[in-house]
């Protein structure tokens, strides 16, 4: 490590998932260490709620940082993935007592990401002069008024999407093509276990499907939008409990429900072997993604600078080929496969440290 590297601010990044906890250490933009800590079903079984897993996950992170000989005295920021807190504007937020209250109770629901800010705050408190942040949680809300209205005043569309990756990829694209994110009109489609398609108008996501609650295209694990009348009948049929129906919508829906797997690579393999049902469901997923891309083009009044495809499924050449066949006439299509949430969080923290981004308070 050079002298200049050692002078760069240290940043710890924490990203709790449903069955794993990722931790990374950066010096400036450089990732020095990263580890994905797996949590088996047996290990998590004793805990009734995700919040109860706090000590388990925190101790696992500390063990990994110790084993990697990370010098905590260099750490300026510990940043965690934001959870299901109250709807907030895009940005990087200081972890405050008010934020911790909503992270603990899961204001908009229970999710492993709720632990990110809590663990970050605990670690930062033990490091002199370090601060705890979260950035671009899934509840980032920049929707236009039109996008919030449904068909009945008892229902309201919520902004819950892959905000961290969508925002990060959009900014990377803007930098790559020497334009300002805040002056561009982009459509970003995040294709993963869940799928969200957002209309980015001059730096704000003014419309996007709620990928958590079933809105949008079917995905490997989620059913997407379904006929409401049939859903009502199912809910009152007496055959299923509420949690069972919830899992149909999110977790056991989509490709998992039709094909018994959420692995797109496996489905592509089946297609190559002549599996017509796998081909139908695969092509339907892509078809629905393209419908949402088209809808977002209308939201942006046809003024679309680029369509960006990201997420794990963007590694599939067949998916990209099909999307280009249907959507290339709308705008140039650019592919940024995968999702590097750890780098995205680190860059948000670094932007605050360097004074390029204003730290917000919840």
Range of the domain at 190: 163-337
48 and 189 part of one domain: no
313 and 255 both lie in a single domain: yes
* pTM of the entire predicted model: 0.89
If asked whether residues 11 and 23 sit together in one domain, one would say: yes
User: In total, how many domains does the chain have?
Assistant: 2
Written as tens digits, the pLDDT of the chain (362 aa) is 444 555 799 999 999 987 789 999 999 999 999 999 988 878 888 998 888 999 999 999 999 999 999 999 999 999 999 899 999 999 999 999 999 999 998 888 888 899 999 999 999 999 999 999 999 999 999 999 999 999 999 999 999 999 999 999 999 999 999 999 999 999 999 999 899 999 999 999 999 999 888 799 999 999 999 999 999 999 999 999 999 999 999 889 999 999 999 999 999 999 999 999 999 999 999 999 999 999 999 999 999 999 999 999 999 999 999 999 999 999 999 999 998 899 999 999 999 999 999 999 99
Same domain, 282 and 176: yes
CATH, residue 257? 3.30.420.40
3-state secondary structure the chain: CCHHHHCCCEEEEEEECCCEEEEEEEECCEEEEEEEEECCHHHHCCCCCCHHHHHHHHHHHHHHHHHCCCCHHHEEEEEEECCCCCCECCCEEECCHHHHHHHHHCCCCCCCCHHHHHHHHHHHHCCCCCEEEEECCCCECCCCHHHHECCCCCCECCCCCCHHHHHHHHHHHHHHCCCCHHHCEEEEEEECCCEEEEEEECCEEEEECCCCCCCCCCCCCECCCCCHHHHHHHHCCCCCCHHHHHHHHECCCHHHHHHCCCCHHHHHHHHHCCCHHHHHHHHHHHHHHHHHHHHHHHHCCCCCCEEEEEEHHHHCHHHHHHHHHHHCCCCCEEEEEECCHHHHHHHHHHHHHCCCCCCEEC
Whether 236 and 296 share a structural domain: yes
Do 121 and 187 fall into the same domain? Answer: no
In a domain, 144, yes or no: no
């Amino acid at each position: 490590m050079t002298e200049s590297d050692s002078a760069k601010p240290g940043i710890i990044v924490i990203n709790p998932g449903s069955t794993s906890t990722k931790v990374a250490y950066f010096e400036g933009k450089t990732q020095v260490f990263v580890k994905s800590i797996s949590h088996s079903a047996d290990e998590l079984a004793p805990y009734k709620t995700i919040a109860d897993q706090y000590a388990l996950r925190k101790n696992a992170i500390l063990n990994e940082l110790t084993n990697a000989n990370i010098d905590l005295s260099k750490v300026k920021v510990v940043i965690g993935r934001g959870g299901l807190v109250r709807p907030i504007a895009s940005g990087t937020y200081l972890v405050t007592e008010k934020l911790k209250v909503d992270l603990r109770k899961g204001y908009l629901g229970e999710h492993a990401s709720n632990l990110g800010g809590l663990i970050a705050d605990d670690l930062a408190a033990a490091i002199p002069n370090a601060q705890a942040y979260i950035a671009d949680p899934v509840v980032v809300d920049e929707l236009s008024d039109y996008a919030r209205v449904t068909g009945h005043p008892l229902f309201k569309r919520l902004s819950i999407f892959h905000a961290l990756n969508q925002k990060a990829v959009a900014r990377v694209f803007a930098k790559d093509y020497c334009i300002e994110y805040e002056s561009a009109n982009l459509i970003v489609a995040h294709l993963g276990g869940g799928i969200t398609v957002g209309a980015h108008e001059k730096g704000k996501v003014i419309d996007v499907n709620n990928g958590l609650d079933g809105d949008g295209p079917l995905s490997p694990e989620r059913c997407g939008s379904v006929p409401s009348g049939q859903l009502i009948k199912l809910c009152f049929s007496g055959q299923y409990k509420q949690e069972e129906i919830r899992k149909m919508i999110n977790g056991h829906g989509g490709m998992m429900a039709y094909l018994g797997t959420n692995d797109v690579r496996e489905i592509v393999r089946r297609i190559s072997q002549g599996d017509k049902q796998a081909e139908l469901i695969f092509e339907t997923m892509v078809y629905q993604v393209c419908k949402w891309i088209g809808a977002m083009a209308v939201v942006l009044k046809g003024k679309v600078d680029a369509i960006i495809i990201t997420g794990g499924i963007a590694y599939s050449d067949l998916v990209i080929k099909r999307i280009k066949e249907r959507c290339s006439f709308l705008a140039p299509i650019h592919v940024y496969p995968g999702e590097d949430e750890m780098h995205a969080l680190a860059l948000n923290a670094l932007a605050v440290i360097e004074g390029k981004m204003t730290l917000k308070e919840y």
